[in-house]
Amino acid sequence: MSNTSYPDISRAKSAELFEKAKQYFPGGVNSPVRAFKSVYGTPLFIERGDKAHIWDADGNEFVDFCCSWGPLILGHNNAQVREAVTAQLGKGLSFGAPTALENELAELILSNNKYLEKIRFVSSGTEAVMSAIRLARGYTKRDKIVKFEGCYHGHSDSLLVKAGSGLVTFGETSSAGVPKSFADETIVIALNDEKALQTVFEQFKDQIAAVIIEGIPANNGLLIQTKAYINFLRQITKDNGALLIFDEVITGFRLGFEGAAAYYDIQPDIITYGKIIGGGMPVGAYGASKELMSCISPDGNVYQAGTLSGNPVAMSAGIAALNILAQPDFYTSLAATTATFVQAIQEYTEQHGYELNIPTIGSIFWFAFTTNTEIRRADQIDPASMEKYKVMHRELLNRGIYMGPSGYEVGFISAAHTEEDLEKAKKAIFESLDIVFG
């Protein structure tokens, strides 16, 4: 393989758009990671996508492994999803009233997911998690939440909290504008540490409403937890009258139709989902048992509402997408494709003695620049290793491969990735790694 850098792609139009965007938006973006602060160059402004490919404002074409941060499991511009959306556009964009489409999507989800009895549609993953936390507090009549360092659950106040300095401490706000009193209701501990959680329940007996964890933590690397640890979470929450919340905004309908709950064969008390249930449209949902969901207004006294909840365009897209995902062997085929892709890269790194490990599960993978093959906690990730990803990211872009603009982000394979796409990506990855380690 060549260890010669390719010339940088042209970003002239993207750079021009970025300068203009800075006049309108903080940092020139509407979501922070898009600013490309962790990698080289200015952000790419994307003009269109089709199947596994995207094109930027400068006409550069890329094989996309970001997939809109995961939900585009069918790739870009899927024909069935597009046609369903187009048909609904002719009928109306929003009514703020019930439609039969909500029933249809709910039935599709509930009839194929034994871990849920009722759901409520919202407009984003953040909103779903925020609502799940409120439900847990309302049901248990307790205030405190336990979350794990390295798990991201959206930008609601009570979850923008990072670990303090001790083994078991109240969290510290990770954003200005979050009151300390909010952080004082959130306890942050390390993943994969049974003793820490036992101590939490001893110190705050009868005060903890819920423990929340990503189905598979995948917002800060891919931190795959053991089944023994997840079983421990289920048992200790049950023993202490607290709820277990699975945030499946990434893993739900990505690992399988029943997500991480099925992977671990665990019944969480509440599960949250994101845009994948709407074919990538702005939508989310949270679900639980009939008993728990009966606490939600108008049946119960836990208030949650939204004008765009159950939006007909998003529901139409979701019905089209999930009907494809529900087909036999969809997930096994996609997981097999991903495993073959990752194995080829892993074998290349081992042959060359490169310090790289690629954790993978389902159709998700992550480049970890370390020899540690069992990274389960955020503090096991070496921040200095991100410099290697920074070089790799630039080399991949120059070879027509698009990955998330941060070494902490995972990659996704979609059903639209062809063998040709994956062969091109492997070659580009091999060459990029030769430069990183050259």
Q: What is the dihedral of CA 199, 204, 207, 213, to 10 degrees?
A: -30
What's the Cα-to-Cα distance from 104 to each of 3, 68, 98, 236, rounded to whole Å? 53, 25, 12, 36
**What is the DSSP track for 309-348?**
TT-HHHHHHHHHHHHHHTSTTHHHHHHHHHHHHHHHHHHH
Q: Which of 56, 139, 147, 247 is catalytic?
A: 247
**In the annotation, is 114 catalytic?**
no
Contact between 186 and 158 (Cβ < 8 Å): yes
Q: Which of 51, 147, 275, 388 is catalytic?
A: 275
The candidate with the shortest Cα–Cα distance to 26, out of 157, 187, 176, is 176
Kindly give the pairing relationship between strand 118-122 and strand 161-162.
unpaired
Residue 107's Cα: distance from chain center in Å?
Answer: 24
Q: Which residues pair with 48 in a beta bridge?
A: 55
Closest of 220, 216, 224 to residue 246, by C-alpha: 216
Cα dihedral 322/323/327/332 (nearest 10): -10
To the query of whether residue 382 is one of the catalytic residues in this protein, the response is no
d(CA 160, CA 178) in angstroms, rounded, equals: 8
Which residue is catalytic, options 115, 152, 331, 354? 152
Task: Check the CA dihedral 280-393-369-426 and report its sign.
Answer: positive
Distance CA 293, CA 300 (A): 8
Q: Helix H segments across 179-239?
A: 180-183, 194-203, 227-239
Helix (H/G/I), strand (E/B), else coil: 376: coil
User: Directed axis angle between helix 312-325 and helix 79-89, to 10°?
Assistant: 160
CA 61, 63, 69 angle in degrees (round to 5)?
115
Residue 414 corresponds to which tokens in the numbers above? 């979609």
Which residues are identified as catalytic? 152, 247, 275
